[in-house]
Chains A and B, each alone.
Chain A
Amino acid sequence: MDKDIVTLAIETSCDETSCAILRNGREVLSNIISSQIDIHRKFGGVVPEVASRKHIENMNLIIQEALDEAKMTFDDIDIIGVTRGPGLVGALLVGISSAKAIAYALDKPLIGVNHIEGHICANYIEHKDLEPPFTCLVVSGGHTYLIYVKDYTEYEMVGRTRDDAAGEAFDKVARTLGLSYPGGPVIDKLSKEGNPDAIPFPRVYLENDSYDFSFSGLKTAVLNYINQARQKGEEIVVKDVAASFQQAVIDVLVDKSIRLAKERKTDKIVIAGGVAANQGLRELMAQRGQEENIKILYPSNKLCTDNAAMIGSAAYFNYMKNKVSDLYLSVAPNLELI
């Protein structure tokens, strides 16, 4: 085996300041995540300027904590990975400025990482034997993608949302139901107690052969249902609305993932992104996977949230394919996976 590669990775794309140290892209030596969620809650969502301010306050403390926990110093670092997008521009700039300065000061390679690729790579950390090819469903607050992962760092985009991301729909429905921010985990929790068949919300499959998604119609249907019930003075059973809405989302996500896995003959479906923590999604996918003899994999909850370890894993696999950035690396707030 070649010499170990130690990666220092930084992630600041949204409201988590995170730094991680990894060995060879799969072994996490430390993964420090400082969440700002309590700070943004009072604003009802992430405020970019507030997030950027918090990142610059925290950044070096988090880096030091990551080094300490990994029992390492800067001298042990071989490569530096950093999220360049997608994300909030001001937030990304803090991480990328730090990473570039560290890379130059140490004279080590810098690798700009796509945040979405990071979410996919979280699975390489979680599942040590996982290797491409596989089918991958990426679901997060900002993204919904169905991807055929050909090889490490090589992706074929098969389907994507044509309007809202799945996580976005969760947040909007949660807000209308008066649930706390962030909406996804709250709806997931309520859904366990509610009846998923209580309200027949639409499942939008688009054209027969399409792997794309659309969640805006469903979102509107849920909002209309709530408004009409309120106007008529009818009682809204929040847990039933939550469960019925969530079921409508995950039915489509799971159906299309299974269909793609069968079409491409992959024996694995990998779930990635913040919504990969959704219990309802995990359970339905597992159940359908068992019926179809397809293995279902997803990261542990900590690796589903935005974290630097997943960025470090992606940086490592890019580095192994000689995909290295230079010191002019720029942030890309609207970066697409491919």
Chain B
Amino acid sequence: MKILAIDTSTVMATCAVLDEDNLLGEFSLNQNFGHSENLVPMVKTLLDNLSLKVSDIDLYGVAVGPGSFTGLRIGIATVKAFAHVYNKPIVGISTLEGLAFNLSHRGIIVPMIDARRNRVYTGIYKWENGYLNNIEEDTVMEIDQLLEHLGENYNNIMVNGNGINIHREKIKDKLGDKVEFAPNIHNTCRAASIGELALLKKDHGKLSNYFTLVPEYLRESQAQRDYKKKERDN
């Protein structure tokens, strides 16, 4: 079985091909260029080098969020179209779970993706009996609030994601020796992680399809929030 995985939820555009036993190839570019221009050419380069075609892919994995709204839609629209043409299943994977999966830490793992204005997308993950479990659901919160929560409830924390570079000093300040920072290479989204998670989850009722799969934004649009506020105020 061949799995093609894609993650464009952050500045990193990344795609990978795996089978049950191996990571066959991964192509990741962490540069602020347009994902929409480059994603399909990247996938083509990867598949060409593996002498594969889209029709050889049996299963798709894609990061469904949280992350850049536009980035998520580019990756998801691309994967949905591939899956649609050859009628193949898709497994949507949390971007944060994908990030946590980069690490093999014994304590808790707290991935953080910058959500701007001092907020991060985050969740709490832990390896237990060979499985990466989600201890606290993905959410968006103020960095200060998150650090306070972590400090009160956890020890032996490892953090990763693009949020830790932005808030590094603050994290050190608040969590001191309770926290370890992941090395830089594990700070970015990796399609290989998304792909392996997709393979692990496909047998657990997590299969989605090209009609129903949608991004997990974790936030309503600004217009929708404003509208609800106006309704409440009236």
Using a CB–CB cutoff of 8 Å, the interface residues on chain A facing chain B are 42-43, 47, 49-50, 52-53, 55-57, 59-61, 63-64, 74, 89-90, 93-94, 96-102, 104-107, 327-331
Contact = CB atoms under 8 A, between A and B. Distances in A.
B36 A331 contact: yes
A86 to B, nearest CB: 16
A329 B86 CA distance: 23
Contacts of B41: 327-328
Contacts of A60: 80-81, 84, 210-211
B40 A100 contact: yes
A328 B33 CA distance: 12
B217 to A, nearest CB: 8
Interface in B199-226: 210-211, 214-215, 217, 221-224
B221 A49 contact: yes
Contacts of B30: none
B224 A57 contact: no
Interface of B: 34, 36-41, 43-44, 53-55, 69-70, 73-74, 76-82, 84-86, 210-211, 214-215, 217, 221-224, 227
Contact of A97 (B39, B55, B210): B39
Contacts of B34: 330
B81 A52 contact: no
Interface of chain A: mostly helix, strand, loop or mixed: helix
A101 B37 contact: no
A52 B223 CA distance: 13
The 10 closest A-B pairs by CB, nearest first: A101-B81, A97-B77, A49-B221, A105-B54, A47-B223, A105-B85, A100-B40, A101-B78, A98-B81, A330-B37
A336 to B, nearest CB: 20
Given A49-B223, A93-B73, A93-B74, 19 more contacts: A42-B227, A49-B69, A50-B223, A60-B80, A63-B84, A64-B84, A89-B70, A94-B77, A97-B81, A98-B77, A99-B81, A100-B40, A100-B81, A101-B81, A101-B82, A105-B85, A327-B44, A328-B37, A330-B37
Contacts of B81: 60, 97-102, 105
Contact of B78 (A49, A98, A106): A98
Given A93-B36, A97-B74, A49 B44 contact: no
A96 B70 CA distance: 12
A275 B85 CA distance: 36
B74 A50 contact: no
Contact of A64 (B54, B211, B221): B211
A98 B81 CA distance: 5
A37 to B, nearest CB: 15
Nearest to A99: B81
A102 B70 contact: no
A97 B217 CA distance: 18
19 contacts: A43-B223, A43-B227, A49-B221, A49-B223, A53-B221, A56-B77, A56-B215, A60-B211, A63-B84, A64-B211, A90-B73, A93-B73, A99-B81, A100-B81, A101-B78, A101-B81, A327-B44, A328-B37, A330-B37
Nearest to A97: B77
A331 B37 CA distance: 8
Contact of A105 (B86, B217, B224): B86
A171 to B, nearest CB: 17
